[in-house]
Amino acid sequence: MSSHEPIADRDGEPAPCGVREPSRSAAVSAPTPPVEAPAVAEDVSAEEEGGHGWGMRDLAKLAAVCVGVLLLVNAFVAQPFSVPSLSMENTLRPGDRLLVDKLAYQFGGTVRRGDVVVFDGTDSFVRGGADDPGIGGELRKLGAALGIGPFDGSVFVKRVIGVGGDRVTYRAGDRQLTVNGAALAEGDYLFPGDAPSEVGFDIQVPPGELFVLGDHRSQSRDSRDHLGDPGGGFVPVRKVIGRADLVLFPIGRWRGLDRPAGFAAIPAAAGGSGAHGDQG
């Protein structure tokens, strides 16, 4: 006869016969659930493998598109221009950044007296020459087109005083020059203390040409300085790059460039065709 008593049930009753006594480890230990990998790690690896972030190739493509759009705008619509000299003070100062409207004289628009224009002075203000060869010249052209580098010495900014058919006259010592016989009031823009000119002249502007002067006459080399040169110092309208409409930088000088009121009193040229639009 066995001396061992059967294991008691939880309510104190003996356990049924034939039930084996569980091991101590089975009685005190619960099964451990399997450990699953964190979901975050799976998500992160999936994002890395999917390649949804911006890579260097994507950024390079975006930069190329931006530069291409900017070049197209500069070529056909508007272009920044840096003022290189004192010749247009106080209207413009060295280092001012202008916005040049290239569409101002397109689609029927014409150059008017009083406009501040940016133009290519090759063969009128400077002799034509060969382009600078090599990558250095190309980089300078790109910098100028983007407005982050200087233009070469063939690009000028001046104010239009006479258009095709106009007669512009000045006698040394006079207080005002005349256009088509009418005195031109230049007090709105002429540099304080400057005379209208240091030399006298009497010229007739050929059709399709412009007579241009700087606002700071004593510091400007303009049409007056080239009267005896081939072309007579006149600028072909076709060489005008655009009209300077805004000073963009420095911020404190941000303003529009309006046509001075004095030009409203100038009559049309005698026998003029009016090919240059509103001349007054």
Active site residue 218: no
Which of these is catalytic: 158, 220, 223, 239?
158
Amino acid at 138: E
Alpha-carbon 254 to chain mean position: 14
Active site residue 87: yes
DSSP notation for the chain:
---PPPPBPTTSPBPPTTPPPPPHHHHH-PPPPPPPPPHHHHHHHHHHHHT-SPPHHHHHHHHHHHHHHHHHHHHHTEEEEE--SSTTTTTS-TTPEEEEETTTTSTT----TT-EEEEE-BTTTB---PPPPHHHHHHHHHHHHHTSS---TTEEEEEEEE-TT-EEEE-TT-S--EETTEEP--TTTSPTT--S-SS-EEEEPPTTEEEEE-SSGGG---GGGGTTSTTTT-EEGGGEEEEEEEEEESGGG-EE-PPPGGGGGPPPPTT---TTS---
82, 87, 124, 197: the active-site residue: 87
Q: Which residues are catalytically annotated? A: 87, 158
